[in-house]
């Protein structure tokens, strides 16, 4: 009898267990929307001019201004008559955030790829090269707390999400864990700085050269000799572009964490990180070598360098993991860049990008607008405010020494200023942002 009871109990347990092996779950989820790799890699083309909707990085070369429409492409403006910018065309280039130009070849990120575009005929550009899968695969934020459906990278790039109602049979022993994809990888975060090299390697501090253009202080792309550099959260990517139409990834160098911006100057690379500044020598351009660092409180911080000094803006805010510090740091650099000495600190409202032309310093102070300072005396910069343009949400600037024109981009669009007379700095043109229909 005991044996019979044991058998019945065992049968009951097994039957119950078999019923509980699986269960059906109904739930609402974020399902990925894909752009196929075939469509991504056949998208580059010249289109009709379009309005600015979500402007990002700016780049200037040979009287042509390039304004990135974040993740969609690049607006092309003829600036031959600065007071009357002419909207020439739009380059469709999905996933674009950063650009740099060497001679007639424009390099841009396209989600996971680096693309080379021939812009010799500016109204009929063409893709001439592509390095595939060189940047991290990343996905956009969901903007909600719903579950994220499994991502199939073979289907292409995730460009967005759609809310769907799902029904799935799941195992108790193997319930899926869905990762939280908080934002695009650092490679796509809103930032822009290729800066300049003394001696003419990229743009010189005195303006643009024939082979290279000029960008602002928030860039993540930089050019040096026959190499293109790109940074993401913790690494520098080194591309050989001696053959301009065949960009080749030849090194991925880890130099620190939370890298945000890159500025090139005097055969060195200056990296703005959320915790400070890293200086790397390009004596061996294949392997950037860290030679010094400067640390500060966690914040967002682009860097520019000129004539022995570095200027760093620190910005607070949720995305910068700091809500209290908003300031400009001025740092003296030794001639070999191995020693960094703080000189002064100045309180600001919410600084973003910045630029310099001689002793004239331009600071984008967020909602407090554009501020122009005389920085001759590094210890009293805050006492020498030349001009302010308030009530503009500013992002980044490019001062062009040869013409004394300042290009600025912000939430309201693109702005152009004439600063030939520092006592009478004037806005002479604006291209407004339009709401998408």
Q: In the chain, what are the domain boundaries?
A: 40-134+186-432
Of 211, 265, 239, 214, give the one whose Cα is nearest residue 131.
239
Average pLDDT over residues 310-328: 73
Interval 152-166: pLDDT, tens: 999 999 999 999 987
d(CA 25, CA 419): 64
Class of domain 40-134+186-432: mainly beta
Q: Among the listed ranges 75-79, 161-165, 226-230, which one has the minimum average pLDDT value?
A: 161-165
Q: Name the DSSP class of 149.
A: P
What is the DSSP pairing of strand 303-306 with strand 248-254?
Answer: unpaired
Q: What angle do CA 304, 305, 311 make, to 5 degrees?
A: 60
pLDDT of residue 317: 56
d(CA 135, CA 155): 17
pLDDT of residue 204: 31
Q: Among the listed ranges 63-72, 310-319, 335-344, which one has the minimum average pLDDT value?
A: 310-319
pLDDT of residue 182: 31
Residue 28 neighbours by CB distance under 10 Å: 12
- What pTM did the predictor assign? 0.85
271 class by beta-carbon count within 10 Å (0-12 exposed, 13-18 middle, 19+ buried): buried
Beta bridge partners of 309: 306, 332
- Cα separations in angstroms, 335 against 27, 90, 306, 308: 62, 43, 12, 7
365 class by beta-carbon count within 10 Å (0-12 exposed, 13-18 middle, 19+ buried): buried
pLDDT of residue 256: 79
d(CA 48, CA 91): 9
The fraction of the chain above a pLDDT of 90, given in percent, is: 66
d(CA 343, CA 161): 48
Q: Among the listed ranges 82-91, 236-245, 272-281, 297-306, which one has the minimum average pLDDT value?
A: 297-306
Is residue 186's pLDDT more than 60? no
Query: CB-based contacts of 5: which residues, under 8 Å, 6+ apart?
Result: none
Q: Name the DSSP class of 151.
A: P
Of 264, 240, 261, give the one whose Cα is nearest residue 250.
240
């Amino acid at each position: 009898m005991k044996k019979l009871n044991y058998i019945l109990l065992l049968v009951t347990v097994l039957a119950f267990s078999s019923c509980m092996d699986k269960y059906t779950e109904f739930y609402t989820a974020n399902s990925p929307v894909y752009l196929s790799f075939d469509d991504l890699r056949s998208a580059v083309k010249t289109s009709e001019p379009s309005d600015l909707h979500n402007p990002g990085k700016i780049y200037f070369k040979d009287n042509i201004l390039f304004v990135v429409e974040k993740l969609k492409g690049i607006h092309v403006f003829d600036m031959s008559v600065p007071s009357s910018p002419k909207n020439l065309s739009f380059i469709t280039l999905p996933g674009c955030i950063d650009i740099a130009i060497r001679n007639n070849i424009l390099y841009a990120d396209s989600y996971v790829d680096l693309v080379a575009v021939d812009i010799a005929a500016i109204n009929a550009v063409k893709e001439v090269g592509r390095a595939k899968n060189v940047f991290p695969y990343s996905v956009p934020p969901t903007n909600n707390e719903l579950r994220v459906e499994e991502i199939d990278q073979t289907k292409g790039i995730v460009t967005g999400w759609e809310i769907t109602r799902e029904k799935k049979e799941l195992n108790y022993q193997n319930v899926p864990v869905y990762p939280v994809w908080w934002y695009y990888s650092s490679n796509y975060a809103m930032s822009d700085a290729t800066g300049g090299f003394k001696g003419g390697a990229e743009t010189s501090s005195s303006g643009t050269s024939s082979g290279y253009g000029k960008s602002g202080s928030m860039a993540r792309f930089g050019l040096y000799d026959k190499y293109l550099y790109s940074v993401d959260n913790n690494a520098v990517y080194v591309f050989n572009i001696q053959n301009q139409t065949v960009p080749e990834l030849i090194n991925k160098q880890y130099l620190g964490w939370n890298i945000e911006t890159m500025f090139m100057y005097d055969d060195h690379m200056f990296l703005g990180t959320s915790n400070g500044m890293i200086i790397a020598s390009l004596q061996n351009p294949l392997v950037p070598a860290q030679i010094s660092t400067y640390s500060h409180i966690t914040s967002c911080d682009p860097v520019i360098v000129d004539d022995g000094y570095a200027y760093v803006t620190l910005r607070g805010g949720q995305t910068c993991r700091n809500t209290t510090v908003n300031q400009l740091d001025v740092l003296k650099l030794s001639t070999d860049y191995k020693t960094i000495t703080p000189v002064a600190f100045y309180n600001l409202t919410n600084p973003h990008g910045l630029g310099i032309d001689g002793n004239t310093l331009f600071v984008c102070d967020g909602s407090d607008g554009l501020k122009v300072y005389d920085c001759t005396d590094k210890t009293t910069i805050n006492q020498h405010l030349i001009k302010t343009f308030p009530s503009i949400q500013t992002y980044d600037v490019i001062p062009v020494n040869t013409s004394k024109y300042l290009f600025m981009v912000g939430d309201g669009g693109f702005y152009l200023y004439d600063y030939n007379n520092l006592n009478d700095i004037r806005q002479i043109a604006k291209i407004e942002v339009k709401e998408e229909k």
